[in-house]
Structure 1
Amino acid sequence: MDKSRRLYYFDSHLRSFSAHIVSEQQRADGRFEVILSQSAFYPTSGGQPHDTGMLNDIPVVDVFVRDDEVIHVVEHSIPVGTSVVGEIDWQRRLDHMQHHCGQHILSAAFEQLFDLDTVGFHMSDDAVTVDIATPVLSEGDLARAEQLANHIIMENRPVSARFVQTSELSQFALRYPPKVTEDIRIVTIADFNDNACGGTHPKFTGEIGLLKVVQQEKVRNATRLTFVCGMRALRDYTERVRVTQALTSQLSTDWLDLPSVVKAQLAEKAELRRTTARLQTALATYRVETEVEAGMTDILEHHFIVARFVDCADVAECKALFQALQKAVSQLVEDATVVFVGQVKDRVYVQGESRGLVNMQQLVTTYLASVGGKGGGKPTSAQGSALISPDDDIRAHAARIREMIFAAMRT
């Protein structure tokens, strides 16, 4: 398509236009690809997503370039020769214009302030990012670049675009050479930046409204900045205010004091965790000592213990108690068989280890199968669980497993 038929090159604010269908082809997915006599729909290119909108009453869902033609993907057939009125989704177009021009300004700010190149640009419905060629970017330098960018926006400088020949490039302060050798389009932000670009841009920088960097991360040898402009910036700010107000209300503080309040609460939480861990360790030691004392006869005379623990918080606590039980029993008898029977809410959890007294895999799986549960492991160690009723007595489960061990010892 000749550049003169790509109306977006010459008027980014053109929202409606007339044309006719010059080509139509159905796709495998049932949609149709059409080529127009002229088009204001911007195709995906240069990091900027495509426009959407309508051709007559038919949605345009994708626009791209193939073989130098602008292809419009539509939901329904539009026969060749049909006259159409194209309607651009203006809010989407304006959002893309604001962020594309915002990227030009932010990149130019880093170039002019710190001589840093832009090595990447990405725009989507979810995020807009620019990659600055430095692995480290200080908070102060970022603030300076952001402030300069917003000064340029608020000064409402003219933004213009024109096609030039290669011989005319010396008239422009281009940091990056054009990627094409003909139909070179230069976008100029008055007295600030020249850039070879085919994207859509506002007529004045003031249309961008505001530029705010909201995230910074290191990507390889560059720094990736996520930023928002225009209505995205307003939505972002509105959401941040909503979250901030909710936090200040819950914490009964001013928003300026949130960092110090949260820091203090995190320190308090960390201390509580340490205290809880110490108390849990002490409680586990007491519970294990109690079970070892109760099972002392089995430990000393038969070299095994079946210990029972009720009201365990979770499987992690069961495993911690089992390890503590093993340690305590090993101090009395080496290579003793240790079986843990614990209650976790509505389940009985069984874990055991044996050095030859019994086949632990057979013991655990057989018992759990008898009460509707499942288990697995190997002859020396096994574990599993089963659902139990609220009135089930964990002591009864432990007693039955103890009887099974005695039976195995007699065979």
Structure 2
Amino acid sequence: VLTVDFDGYLTPEQLAEMEELTNAAFRKGQNIHIFFPSEEELKALDFRSKKELKGKVRIVEFPEADICACCGTHVKNTAEIGSFKILSSFKHRGGTRVEFAAGKRLINYINMLLRESASCVEQLSAKPQEISGALKQLYSEKNQLAEKLSKKSERIMNLISDSFPSEGKLLFVSEPELTPFEIKVFCNRLAEKKNFESILVLSEQAEKKLFNYILFSKEPNLAALSRELNKELNGRGGGKPPFVQGSFASSEEEIRKAVETKLG
């Protein structure tokens, strides 16, 4: 994939016109004119150049399309390029960057898309023209499943929270593989239902070799205490009292000991 940058914004209609005009120029099969004009001839030429040029200048002319100063390699005839396709465009440094492919690069790009499409067709059990609809259905089923899991998770949290004492100084809870959102919901529920001065909900993320946590505490200096725990337990995070959250890269035993020492 190649890119070219333009000054200003290009509309979809302008891009479509650019693509059509480029392909039309290729289809004409016109010979490329490469020449070295004299200094006087150069002054009379209307050509593209990024800077002021002096001395011997090589001019490349694509008939009815473009004329520019260039020392690069070019085809002899526009038909040699084949086809041209704009792949995408987006704002870039106050202008528009256009991504495109042509000739063999375009064929290679299309072949790559076809391989990806074939893989999607196989995995989704859908026809090529039905991929977007199949994906929409898949995301709908995913969201429905996520909603069911959320409700089940809520019921499980309620059952677990009911198994804990009603009050005390410190409640230490460790449940594996909870998401940060689930940890927050769990801690909030415990803080609402139980009468503890401090509640720590901890969840091991085995793949990352750390524990995510959220700490509720009536401790007036919770922010300073959170910084101390992070320093001691190789942690990171913070928050607004009475809640702080983050992660600890330490063992559960080390975390329990540190928290109990400061809050137990």
The superposition leaves residues 65-108 of structure 1 with CA deviations (integer Å, 9 ceiling, x where unpaired) of: xxxxxxxxxxxxxxxxxxxxxxxxxxxxxxxxxxxxxxxxxxxx
- Partner Cα distance (2:188, 2:9) in 1: 46
Aligned-residue offset at 1:387: 6.2
Alignment partner for residue 177 of structure 2, among 313, 321, 324?
Answer: 313
- Partner Cα distance (1:129, 1:207) in 2: 20
Bigger RCO of structures 1 and 2 (CA < 8 A, at least 6 apart): 2
User: Are residue 227 (structure 1) and residue 100 (structure 2) matched?
Assistant: yes
Equivalence for 1:149:
22
The structure-2 alpha-carbon separation of the partners of 1:286 and 1:238, relative to structure 1 and needing over 3 Å to count, comes to same
> AA paired with 2:193?
A
Aligned-residue offset at 1:242: 0.7
- Partner Cα distance (2:33, 2:17) in 1: 26
Structure 2 residue matching 1:182: 3-state secondary structure? coil
Equivalence for 1:166:
39
Equivalence for 1:338:
199
Structure 1 residue matching 2:134: 3-state secondary structure? helix
Equivalence for 2:11:
137
> AA paired with 2:100?
F
User: Are residue 328 (structure 1) and residue 193 (structure 2) matched?
Assistant: yes
Equivalence for 1:237:
110
Aligned-residue offset at 1:348: 9.8
User: Are residue 182 (structure 1) and residue 43 (structure 2) matched?
Assistant: no
> AA paired with 1:324?
R
The superposition leaves residues 330-388 of structure 1 with CA deviations (integer Å, 9 ceiling, x where unpaired) of: xxx4x72324465666989676555469x997xx98xxx9xxxx57699x979745268
Alignment partner for residue 90 of structure 2, among 217, 237, 241?
Answer: 217
> AA paired with 1:313?
E
Structure 1 residue matching 2:251: 3-state secondary structure? strand
Does the CA contact (< 8 Å) of 2:90 and 2:98 recur in 1? yes
User: Are residue 258 (structure 1) and residue 119 (structure 2) matched?
Assistant: no
Structure 2 residue matching 1:149: 3-state secondary structure? helix
- Partner Cα distance (1:351, 1:268) in 2: 31
Structure 2 residue matching 1:264: 3-state secondary structure? helix
> AA paired with 1:337?
S
Equivalence for 1:128:
2
TM-score of the superposed pair, with normalisation by structure 1: 0.49
> AA paired with 1:151?
A
Does the CA contact (< 8 Å) of 2:84 and 2:102 recur in 1? yes
Q: Provide structure 2 residue ranges, at least 5 long, that are not aligned to the other structure.
A: none
Structure 1 residue matching 2:58: 3-state secondary structure? strand
> AA paired with 1:306?
L
Q: Provide structure 1 residue ranges, at least 5 long, that are not aligned to the other structure.
A: 1-126, 389-396
- Partner Cα distance (2:155, 2:205) in 1: 20
Structure 1 residue matching 2:9: 3-state secondary structure? coil
Q: Percent identical across equivalent pairs?
A: 19
TM-score of the superposed pair, with normalisation by structure 2: 0.72
Max Rg structure: 1
- Partner Cα distance (1:177, 1:343) in 2: 58
Choose between structure 1 and 2: higher helix proportion. Answer: 2
Structure 1 residue matching 2:136: 3-state secondary structure? helix
The structure-2 alpha-carbon separation of the partners of 1:321 and 1:228, relative to structure 1 and needing over 3 Å to count, comes to same
**Corresponding pairs, count:** 247
- Partner Cα distance (1:252, 1:339) in 2: 46
Aligned-residue offset at 1:173: 4.5
Equivalence for 1:386:
251
The structure-2 alpha-carbon separation of the partners of 1:267 and 1:223, relative to structure 1 and needing over 3 Å to count, comes to farther
- Partner Cα distance (2:134, 2:186) in 1: 37
- Partner Cα distance (1:353, 1:187) in 2: 72
